Amino acid sequence: MFSLSTSTKEINKLPNLYPNPSEGLVYIENNNNWEQADIYLSNGQLVSSISIKDEELVIIELPQELGLYMIQLKNKRHQSEISKILKI
């Protein structure tokens, strides 16, 4: 007989960004102690860099141009996650 078990320990929670697509404001649930959010255009150009405090919910305003953006979140342990957001 085989038994499957799962661990309840979450090693790295993925960022929760919403809404996607967005009309301009993006909300980030700070579930991984993110310290910085870098916003990039789809061509890789850095648009802005935002310092994140110990807030549980972070609000980011995307630039005026419509299109695809990438948001890279970084934490103290030098871990990062990149999410794509479409501005409509």
Q: What is the pTM of this model?
A: 0.79
Q: pLDDT higher for 13 or 16?
A: 16
pLDDT given for residue 4 in this prediction: 54
Please tell me the distance from the alpha carbon of residue 29 to that of residue 13, in angstroms, as a whole number: 11
**Band of pLDDT at residue 10, cut at 50, 70 and 90:** very low
Closest by CA position to 29, among listed 68, 56, 67, 59: 56
We find that the CATH architecture of domain 16-87 is Sandwich (2.60)
The predicted model gives 11-40 an average pLDDT of 87
Which segments of the chain are extended strands (E)?
A: 16-18, 25-29, 34-41, 46-51, 57-61, 67-75, 80-87
Please tell me the distance from the alpha carbon of residue 87 to that of residue 85, in angstroms, as a whole number: 6
Helix (H) or strand (E) holding 65: none
**Band of pLDDT at residue 54, cut at 50, 70 and 90:** confident
All structural domains of the chain with their residue ranges: 16-87
The predicted model gives 47-60 an average pLDDT of 89
